[in-house]
Amino acid sequence: MVETPALVIGEAVPDDVPRLFALQREHPPKYWLRILPDRGLRGFLKHLVTSGTSTIVVARPAGIPEICGYIYAVWHPRVFWRGFFLKHPGTFLYLVLRYGTYRLRQEWRHWQQSRRRGGGTGAAADPERDLRRFSWSRSDPQIARAIF
């Protein structure tokens, strides 16, 4: 563990899952994780801590067991998601369906708006849509990825 005068930073353990869960519900994230029901979120957090292909780094005030900050790191995304599917198939399918329908609705709205503006099929009306996909990081599976 790395210690600073005010914070202790270290890896989360399974006993931290209830604290992480409470923190997530108290301050909901602004990404797909907020759509998980309570049971699914607990399973997801426990899998992050115990899978061996990911971790949660937590920050705590010195001398206090409460968690004041966290970040997820996943080293092998395919292995992580495969393991999550095998241990929590219902939560995995729920997540895929909810997030998938959310993304489809977003794409549909975007297509309708660009069609109204451009008067065409929608794809040609939005120049950013034609740009090549760009990644800010290398795609090496050994590089941890932050989930936003």
Give the tens place of pLDDT for each residue, 97-113.
888 888 888 888 888 88
For residue 32, pLDDT over 80 is answered with no
Length of the chain: 148
Element (H, E) at 73: strand 69-74
For residue 116, pLDDT over 70 is answered with yes
Summarize pLDDT for 67-105 with one digit per residue, the tens: 888 888 898 889 999 999 999 999 889 888 888 888 888
Beta-carbon contacts of residue 85 (< 8 Å; ≥ 6 apart): 92
CB-based contact 46:39 (threshold 8 Å): no
For residue 114, pLDDT over 60 is answered with yes
Tell me which amino acid residue 107 is: E
pTM for the whole thing?
0.64
Count Cβ atoms below 10 Å from residue 89 Cβ, excluding itself.
10
**Alpha-carbon distance 25 to 38, whole Å?**
9
Identify the DSSP state of 143.
S
Count Cβ atoms below 10 Å from residue 95 Cβ, excluding itself.
21
Percentage of the chain surpassing pLDDT 70? 76
